[in-house]
Amino acid sequence: MERKFYPERIYLEKASKDFPLSRKVIRSLKDVPVEVIDDTDALIHEFSMGTDPIGAGKTILLLSRLRGSFIKPCPCTPEYIGCNYQIINTDLNCPYDCTYCILQQYLNNPLVTVHVNTPDLWSQLDEVLNHTKKTIRIGTGELGDSLVLDHITERSGELIEYFRKRDNAIFELKTKSVNIENLLEHDPPENVVIAWSLNSHEIALNEEKKAPDVDARIQAARSVSDRGYKIGFHFDPLVLYPGWEEGYLAVAESLLSTIDPKRIAWISFGSLRFPSSLKSVIRRRFPDARILCQELIKGKDGKFRYFKPLRLKMYRKILGYFQNWVTGGTPFYFCMESEEVWEKALKIKPRGEEEVEKLLCSPSR
């Protein structure tokens, strides 16, 4: 079972102390020392002066306002096919310490941060959704884990209730956590998907430190699915290592025997990829990490990714494990892959991200 996150210290931005979410978090963490601060930038700078700011930041909770927009288009990557996803940045960072995590390089702020100005979130969501005619896919879980803080923030319930009334959105909570108690208390809306990031047992154990093991994630997915939610899975990043075929087969078998495919909204695949600047961060924080040692070449977007024949081999093999689900109509898609790889591995040739979006927003699902 997952050891729930309890920070060693809370920093509360002075200007954020009257938000209900700040009060709720502090109430639920009443034994954790709270320090009120004037300037979050100064705090972040101070932390950045430590020898491992990223590791240290995982023990701290910062409650602050998000001054910009909560909602942003997923940046995806140039030269490869995206899926028109919109991301909601409710939180930043997460207590898990995954070797490959892009946030180690992407964010300047190393602290686990909850943006507490929820009224701004709702008004910004209203603004976007009131002016969108097509169905959009939108979700948290891009710059943080969607559920790992849910016992503290109870944000999932509020988001679910908000999106229940928004039928032009498919809302996704994306997680590695098994923190599902709040979800189970809500009636599942049709347009909400709870998705788990999955990997092989070996990769989860060695490269996804502090995250729940894969079986626990699958069991959590089963519970949520039994409650009536649609669920999703993201095999991302798929990692090559000696024994990867058996490793991913074991997870596939576990999934196939536990989950009803009719409840699955989508399954995505993405192979390990990262900008070159992340490599030095990984080497510094995890000098013995072997995930950097396979045949990673520079892709068309300048990021490292596996040599294409190896990616194709891996995708085909793992998709083969799910053959019954593929032919049965469960939507599979690739994250940040080329048209060529889509066609060769999935036998689908989407013409741009709108087509991928259409595939995943189909009303039949």
Only one of the segments 67-75, 170-178, 320-328, 338-346 lies at the binding site for another protein (rule: CB under 8 A); that segment is 338-346
Only one of the segments 21-29, 152-160, 220-228, 301-309 lies at the binding site for another protein (rule: CB under 8 A); that segment is 301-309
β-pair partners for 264: 231
Site residues (CB under 8 A) for another protein, limited to 232-291: 280, 283-284, 287-288, 290
Establish if 311 lies at the interface with another protein (CB under 8 A).
yes
Q: Whose CA is closest to 263, among 192, 354, 184, 161?
A: 192
- Of 41, 167, 190, 340, which one interacts with another protein (CB under 8 A)? 340
CA distance 180 to 342: 33
At 281, list the tokens: 């961060």
Establish if 72 lies at the interface with another protein (CB under 8 A).
no
| CB neighbour burial string for 100-138, b if at least 16 within 10 angstroms, e if fewer | bbbbbbebebbbbbbbbbbebbeebbeebbeeeeebbbb
Burial of 340 from C-beta contacts in 10 A (0-12 / 13-18 / 19+): exposed
Q: Binding string to another protein for residues 92 to 111, with x set by CB under 8 A, is what?
A: --------------------
- Of 26, 32, 216, 292, which one interacts with another protein (CB under 8 A)? 292
Torsion angle in degrees (nearest 10) through CA of 334, 337, 338, 340: -50
Establish if 55 lies at the interface with another protein (CB under 8 A).
no
Establish if 1 lies at the interface with another protein (CB under 8 A).
no
User: Smallest distance from the beta carbon of 225 to another protein, in angstroms?
Assistant: 33
At 170, list the tokens: 């498919």
Question: Which DSSP helix (H) or strand (E) runs through 3?
Answer: none
Residue 104: C-alpha distances to residues 107, 147, 199 (Å): 7, 19, 19
User: Smallest distance from the beta carbon of 1 to another protein, in angstroms?
Assistant: 33
Establish if 351 lies at the interface with another protein (CB under 8 A).
no
Number of shown-chain residues binding another protein (CB under 8 A): 29
Residue placing its CB nearer to another protein in the complex, 59 or 254 = 59
User: Smallest distance from the beta carbon of 315 to another protein, in angstroms?
Assistant: 9
**Angle at which helices 308-321 and 244-258 pack, to 10 degrees?**
30
Binding site for another protein (CB under 8 A): 48-51, 280, 283-284, 287-288, 290, 292-295, 297-300, 307-313, 316, 338, 340, 344
